[in-house]
Amino acid sequence: MSSPRRSTLAALIVIVALLLSLAPARADYYGEPAELVDRATAVYKGFLADPNMEWFRNNVGRARGIFIVPQMLRGGFIIGGSGGRGVLLAQDGNTAKWSSPAFYSMGSVSVGFQIGADASELILLIMTDRGLNAMLSTDYKLGADVAVAAGPAGASAKAQTADILAFGRSQGLYGGVSVEGAAISPLDDWNRQYYGQPAQVFDILINQKWSNRQADSLRQMLPRPGRNAQPIGR
């Protein structure tokens, strides 16, 4: 076998090994819709308790929506990719009532000199109506039609003016949060399974026509305007 082929094979073996090491956690997050909601609730609690997420806690009540991806798997060598599933909840601009969750997939492919794999907890704060309207579309890419920026860390940090702010916590060989170019699509089959009938994302998020009591604990944790999210355990 030639040297280039051996190098390519070795790289593939490294990638597979890294991704397989994350497989047990992946199974926990992707079992069924109700499990994903439970994991999203746990991730949200973790963000509230994180001392680096003070800006997040103080401003989540201003968001038009919140998209929680409990596990964003990422790995690559030269060509990198990421993928995960999450739940989106929207806040009614008039009543400040949070909707039940709608289910989405999120994935991207990036090209560059990179190697590694990790599993990240990701939360997107949808700060504008424009950002929320983009999430309602059948399929779109972050950064294409809406402005997306990394969410600020720390109490004194200032956020960039953006439709969507991305916050992440990860362990692995990658660092930072980059969601530019990620494709987001509704999971119609999961929405149907969770609500027992065909449920469109507009009716779930905007009309708030559908509800599932299993998500009440997550909805009740989300703050309303003028009321900051409180750190867990304080």
Q: What is the pLDDT along the chain (234 residues), one digit of tens a residue?
A: 555 555 544 544 444 444 444 444 443 445 789 999 999 999 999 999 988 888 899 889 999 999 999 887 665 444 445 578 899 999 998 999 999 999 998 876 443 434 444 557 889 999 999 999 998 887 777 777 788 888 877 655 566 678 999 888 875 433 346 677 788 899 999 999 999 999 999 999 999 999 999 999 999 999 875 555 555 543
Rounded CA separation 38/123 (Å): 15
Domain that holds residue 204: 3-221
pLDDT score for 129: 93
Does 234 reside within a domain? no
Does 19 reside within a domain? yes
- Percent composition of the chain: helix, strand, coil (DSSP 3-state, to 5): 35, 30, 35
Half-sphere exposure of 166 (CA within 13 A, CB side): 22
Does 231 reside within a domain? no
- Residue of 3, 122, 30, 23 whose CA lies nearest to 75: 23
Domain tally, the chain: 1
Name residue 213's amino acid.
R
Rg (CA), the chain: 18
pLDDT score for 73: 64
Does 228 reside within a domain? no
Does 92 reside within a domain? yes
Does 233 reside within a domain? no
Does 230 reside within a domain? no
Does 10 reside within a domain? yes
